[in-house]
Amino acid sequence: MAERAQFAKMNGLGNEIIVADMRGRVDHILPAAAIALDHDSATKFDQIMAIHAPRRPDTEAFIEIINSDGTQAQTCGNGMRCVVQALASETGKREFTFETIAGILTAHEHPDGLISVDMGKPRFDWQEIPLAEPFHDTRQIELQIGPIDAPVLHSPSVASMGNPHAIFWVDQDVWTYDLERFGPLLENHPIFPERANISIAHVTSRNAITLRTWERGAGLTRACGSAACASAVSAARTGRTERTVTVTVPGGPLVIEWLENDHVLMTGPAEWEFSGSFDPATGAWQRDESQPSQGVA
């Protein structure tokens, strides 16, 4: 059995996050441990954010992101806010620079407790999303689901926020679509060689979008920060909205700003639930006896 690591169960607008403290260790959280934690109702999660010691001197930490099916993700906006809240309460710092497998991210905590994450630049090139075949205009690609002559969802915009996203635009309430049924089919469609996060987006004004997401490797979630970013930039780029929008996901609102320097800034809350320790090899865990701090260590 590996030595136990500390974790905090948190959420970002209902996106279920485990922030795990893997600093000072050489092991990594195994897929089997992630799957075991997800199968326990108390620790059921959408992503684990594993904080490892920095690999680069200009960063606070290297963050590994693990979906509930044990696969890795390149980015997780809601999870990054949880990491910031955990480290801010541990260190008193408010500004952070992190490394993920997708690159460098910066984030800061505001005095009111909301957290902004600079999610980097969106990418729209079909090879970078990636798609399996060339589409020169990714504002709208040929893909549909449902009867051929009356598709239920069709012509999504596609974008990468480090991870792949497809956004289907609808003009009715997003809850009227059976995303639980269509999500897995679209996530695994051959057009997406690395699978994709699948969202349904309803633009309700020049500054507002309502969004539901079926996440790659995690299924239906109450919030997906990178999908909120991908839908905001895709809405602006197709002329549907301005560059600053409130994206309301099932868990609540996120403010997304597509800045002049092409970076996408996401602002929203994070919430601490409880802490414990776990075995990164098996997922066996226990709750801390006392719950004094809101940090992760």
- Told to judge if 82 belongs to the known catalytic residues of this protein, a careful annotator would answer no
Q: Does the annotation list 103 as a binding residue?
A: no
**Residue 159 lies near ligand API (rule: CB under 6 A):** no
Alpha-carbon torsion (171, 174, 178, 182), positive or negative:
positive
| From 78, 100, 248, 275, residue interacting with ligand API (rule: CB under 6 A) | 78
**Residue 250 lies near ligand API (rule: CB under 6 A):** no
Q: Does the annotation list 215 as a binding residue?
A: yes
**Residue 225 lies near ligand API (rule: CB under 6 A):** yes
Question: Which residue is catalytic, options 22, 49, 211, 224?
Answer: 224
Q: How far apart are CA 184 and CA 207, in angstroms?
A: 29
| 176: Cβ contacts below 8 Å, ≥ 6 apart | none
Determine contact, residues 39/69, Cβ cutoff 8 Å. Answer: no
Query: What six digits make up the tokens of 65?
Result: 């992101």
Question: Which residue is catalytic, options 17, 49, 76, 209?
Answer: 76
- Least CB distance to ligand API at residue 164 (A): 7
- Residue range at the interface with ligand API (CB under 6 A); choices 35-43, 169-177, 223-231, 276-284: 223-231
233-240, Cβ contacts within 8 angstroms, sequence gap of 24 or more: 233/122, 233/159, 233/258, 233/264, 234/139, 234/157, 234/158, 234/159, 234/167, 234/201, 235/167, 235/201, 235/203, 235/209, 237/124, 237/139, 237/157, 238/139, 238/140, 238/157, 238/169, 240/169, 240/203
- Least CB distance to ligand API at residue 167 (A): 14
- Residue range at the interface with ligand API (CB under 6 A); choices 92-100, 169-177, 220-228, 252-260: 220-228
- Name which of residues 172 to 201 contact ligand API (CB under 6 A): 197
**Residue 234 lies near ligand API (rule: CB under 6 A):** no
**Residue 231 lies near ligand API (rule: CB under 6 A):** no
Q: How far apart are CA 262 and CA 182, in angstroms?
A: 32
| From 187, 215, 257, 279, residue interacting with ligand API (rule: CB under 6 A) | 215
Q: How far apart are CA 134 and CA 86, in angstroms?
A: 42
Q: Does the annotation list 226 as a binding residue?
A: yes
* Closest to 17 (Cα-Cα) out of 61, 66, 62, 59: 66
Q: Does the annotation list 188 as a binding residue?
A: no
- Least CB distance to ligand API at residue 286 (A): 26
Determine contact, residues 85/110, Cβ cutoff 8 Å. Answer: no
**Residue 226 lies near ligand API (rule: CB under 6 A):** yes
**Type of residue found at 252:** G
Q: How far apart are CA 42 and CA 286, in angstroms?
A: 10
Classify strands 47-52 and 244-249 as parallel, antiparallel or unpaired: unpaired
- Told to judge if 229 belongs to the known catalytic residues of this protein, a careful annotator would answer no
Classify strands 5-12 and 271-278 as parallel, antiparallel or unpaired: antiparallel
> Binding marks (x or -) toward ligand API, 107..146, rule CB under 6 A?
----------------------------------------
**Residue 76 lies near ligand API (rule: CB under 6 A):** yes
Q: How far apart are CA 290 and CA 67, in angstroms?
A: 28
Q: Does the annotation list 47 as a binding residue?
A: yes
Query: Catalytic positions, please?
Result: 76, 224
Q: Which residues bind to ligand API, rule: CB under 6 A?
A: 15, 46-47, 67, 73, 75-79, 163, 197, 215-218, 221, 224-226
Known binding residues for substrate: 15, 47, 67, 77-78, 163, 197, 215-216, 225-226
